[in-house]
Amino acid sequence: MASLTEIRWHGRGGQGGKTASILLGKVAAKTGRNIQAFPEYGPERMGAPVLAYNRISEDKITVHCQVTEPGTVAVLDPTLLDVVDVTQGVPAEGKIIVNTTEDPTALKEKLGFDGEVWTVDAYGISTEEIGAPFPNTPMLGALVKATGIVPYEGFLEQVKKEFEKKFAHKPEVIEGNLASIERAYQEVKK
Amino acid sequence: MSNQVALTGNEVMAQAMRQINPDVVAAYPITPQTAMVQLFSQFVADGKVDTEYVTVESEHSAMSATVGASAAGSRAMTATAANGLALMWEVLYIASGTRLPIVMPVVNRALSGPINIHCDHSDAMGARDSGWIQFFAENGQEAYDNAIQAVRISEHEDVRLPSIVNLDGFIISHAVENLEILADEDVEEFVGDYQADNYLLNSEDPIAVGPLDLQDFYFEHKMQQAVAASNVKDVVLEVAKEYEEISGREYGLFEEYKLDDAEVAVVALGSTTGTAKAAVDNLREQGVKAGLLKIRLYRPFPAEEIANALKDLDAVAILDRADTFSTTGGPVYIDTRAALYDSDADLEVVNYVYGLGGRDIKVEEIESVFEDLQQIAETGNVEQKINYLGVRE
């Protein structure tokens, strides 16, 4: 399965890591690819470290085990870096994208990680665009930029369609989330 | 016409229930089944189905209300998991013994205790002698397809037995995967209208359901139930053939994956069979003649067919996601060994109990089972019949 991409999302309970993984999975599925999006359920509660995963592949995906060597990692909260080893199992050619105001070069050194480290201020962006720090949608935009996992062309439209289903009862949040994705896509840097 | 979607196992099972459009659903929410009945109740609230939804205060009541609805002559469904299924226990036997064609998704989860919400098959295996037909699925697609076919199988005049449609908790129920769902009208036509022969609400021909049945007739009724169970295999294959015409997807009693020329193989059910396929593929690349037998119909057990499919192997490992604590191995191992006893097969059969309480099972672990099997095939020497895979000592 040469085309297989595996992604691990680190978040805190309530930040929408699971939602981001599902959103990415659904959008990738629309591009004709095979996908999995699944959270790791534990004794999660608001604020506790939680995990979600994606597998995206041109080929059929049959495995149903956990992702242990993700090529891409997204970290939704910078304080997780002190409590979780986000580099665990990530190969040297992997990518880690972190919601932080820190400089990527400094963070790369701090993590002791050989691959690419990207950073974006997802809290800042979502606070300005949505009115509260919801890091999941800007991190989705940042991840798409860093990985090119789905073509940006058409990506926003597809996300909008998913939002229209998901937020049928509160459409007022759609615009801010889309703006967050767009800004994070532009602002994420390595 | 079918529709490509990306949905969780619970979401697609709720869609199956919507398309089946049962007359009555009585269900009680339990992790990891909750999203399924929650979504379905939304369909009821939105008027997307004609179903009478009965909210109940426990799974015992859920199954009792479903039995009542089915005995009344309606097409009735429920869904549960784990301890919910355990709480239904006495009513399960009433459903099958009364020959009520109820269809019930079960989202497999470990039975307490210790308390655990994750996947294993201890719930379904507790119901394996309850007289219910049981299907297992590798993924959400198969669970969806099994649910729709189960309606026809359960209601078939040669069967009239209830069905459990198993899907693995969290691993399938909460994972989004690519799926193809059928057009509503295709499912509507496939399941057709349900017309019970004898039913409580038939004022033209009033009957009693569930009267006292003592030494004089109970045994004959149980004998009829046994005959019905023996008819299931043929009906499963017949319905599968018809289903293939509308879905393009082929189903049997089990799936043989690279088993034709295999020398060593594993037998498994549920989501692990997908992981096992990856192990088989890796070993095939290394020149190992590895294979997989994935059980779809677990109850009644297609013993003869399974024995026949395994008989030319040198060694086979049965993977069980439940223990019996009988010290004689897991349930699928016991069934498979018994099946092989009457065949002319000459092979070693070993057991691996794995994944209890949601313990992850990796491709490499299944590959290690194949390594053991190769060793056994070479030496003819079995060190340990019953093994526990992926557990700390």
Question: Closest partner residue to B177 among A35, A39, A65, by Cβ?
Answer: A35
| Residue B337 distance to chain A (closest CA, Å) | 27
DSSP-derived pairing of the beta strands B52-55 and B176-182: unpaired
Provide the pLDDT confidence category of residue A42 given band limits of 50, 70 and 90. confident
Domains and CATH numbers, chain B: 3-247 (3.40.50.970), 254-389 (3.40.50.920)
From chain A, pick out residues whose CB is under 8 angstroms from the CB of B139.
62, 64
Say if pTM beats, i.e. exceeds, 0.80: yes
Q: Which of A1, A26, A53 is nearest to A155 (CA)?
A: A26
Residue A1 has pLDDT above 60, yes or no: no
Closest-CA residue of chain B to A67: B362
Sorted by sequence, the CB contacts under 8 Å of residue A90 that are 6+ apart come out as: A69, A70, A71, A73, A96, A113, A115
The span from the CA of B55 to the CA of B29, in Å, is: 10
Strand partners, B266: B292, B317
Phi then psi for residue A11, to 5 deg, are: -145, -175
| C-alpha distance from B152 to closest chain A C-alpha (Å) | 28
One-letter amino acid of A48: A
Residues in chain A whose beta carbon is closer than 8 A to a beta carbon of chain B? 22, 25-26, 29-30, 34-39, 41, 61-66, 68
State how far the Cα of A78 lies from the Cα of A121, in Å rounded to an integer.
Answer: 10
| Residue written as token pair 């869904």 | B79
Whether the link from the prior residue into B113 is cis, omega within 30° of 0, is yes
List the one residue out of A152, A119, A181 whose CA is nearest residue A28: A152
Nearest chain A residue to B9 by CA distance is A38
Q: Does the distance separating the beta carbons of A62 and B171 come in below 8 Å?
A: no
Q: How far apart are CA B185 and CA B1, in angstroms?
A: 9
**Within an 8 Å CB–CB cutoff, is residue B334 touching chain A?**
no
DSSP for B82-123 reads: HHHHHHTHHHHHHHHHTT---EEEEEE-PPSSS---S--SHH
Determine the Cα–Cα distance for residues B315 and B310; give it in Å rounded to an integer: 9
Structure tokens at A166: 């998901």
Residues B106, B143 contacting (CB under 8 angstroms): no
Take residue A182 and report the two structure tokens written for it. Answer: 């767009």
List A12's β-bridge partners, or say none. Answer: A49
Alpha-carbon gap: B158 to the closest alpha carbon of chain A (Å): 35
β-sheet bridge partners, residue B389: B354
Residue B168 to residue A64, Cβ atoms within 8 A? yes
At how many degrees (to 10) do helices B140-155 and B9-20 cross? 30
* Angle, helices B89-97/B218-247, rounded to nearest 10 degrees: 90
- Residues of chain B with C-beta less than 8 angstroms from the C-beta of A62: 138-139, 274-275, 277-278
Chain B segment 354-373 residues within 8 A of A by beta carbon are 360-363
pLDDT by residue, tens only, chain B of 393 residues: 569 999 999 999 999 999 999 999 999 999 999 999 999 999 999 999 999 999 999 999 999 999 999 999 999 999 999 999 999 999 999 999 999 999 999 999 999 999 999 999 999 999 999 999 999 999 999 999 999 999 999 999 999 999 999 999 999 999 999 999 999 999 999 999 999 999 999 999 999 999 999 999 999 999 999 999 999 999 999 999 999 999 999 999 999 999 999 999 999 999 999 999 999 999 999 999 999 999 999 999 999 999 999 999 999 999 999 999 999 999 999 999 999 998 988 999 999 999 999 999 999 999 999 999 999 999 999 999 999 999 998
Rounded Cα–Cα distance for residues B142 and B40 (Å):
19
The whole-angstrom distance between A152's CA and the closest CA on chain B is 20
CB B127 within 8 A of CB B81: no
ipTM: 0.94
Which is it for strands A95-99 and A72-75: parallel, antiparallel or unpaired?
Answer: parallel
- Are B370 and B288 in contact, with CB atoms under 8 Å apart? yes
Once rounded to an integer, what is the mean pLDDT over residues A93-116?
97
Q: Judge contact between A156 and A182, C-beta under 8 A.
A: yes
Classify B45 as helix, strand or coil: helix
What's CA B80's distance to the chain center, in Å? 13
* Cα–Cα distance for residue pair B178/B180, rounded to 1 Å: 7
Chain B residues 292-321 within an 8 A CB cutoff of chain A: none
Type of residue found at B171: I
Please indicate whether, in this complex, the C-beta atoms of B118 and A41 are within 8 angstroms of each other: yes
Which of B42, B108, B139, B178 would best serve as a mutation to test chain A binding (most A beta carbons within 10 A)?
A: B178
The amino acid at B194: Y
Joined tokens for residue A47: 């604020």
Contact criterion met (CB < 8 Å) for A41 and B174 = yes
Sort out which chain A residues have CB atoms less than 8 A from B107's CB and list them: none
Q: How far is residue A101 from each of residues A3, A14, A98, A114, measured CA to CA in Å?
A: 32, 21, 9, 20
The CB density around residue B303, as the number of other CB atoms within 10 Å, is: 17
| Residue B167 distance to chain A (closest CA, Å) | 13
Number of cross-chain residue pairs from A and B with Cβ atoms under 8 Å apart: 60
Residues of B in contact with A41 (CB under 8 A): 117-118, 170, 174
pLDDT at B356: 98
For residue B176, give the nearest of A36, A62, A66 by CB distance.
A36
CB interface of B with A, residues 134-153, below 8 Å: 138-139
Q: Check CB contact under 8 Å for A26 and B176.
A: yes
Task: Name which of B32, B362, A44, A31 is nearest A17 in CA terms.
Answer: A44
B349, B372 Cβ separation under 8 angstroms: no
**Kind of pairing between the strands at A116-120 and B52-55:** unpaired
Chain B residues in contact with A64 (beta carbon < 8 A): 139, 168, 171-172, 175, 271-272, 274-275
Pairing mode, strands B2-8 and A72-75: unpaired
Domains of chain A with bracketed CATH: 5-187 (3.40.920.10)
Q: How far apart are CA A13 and CA A124, in angstroms?
A: 19
Written as six digits, the tokens of B203 are 């004022």
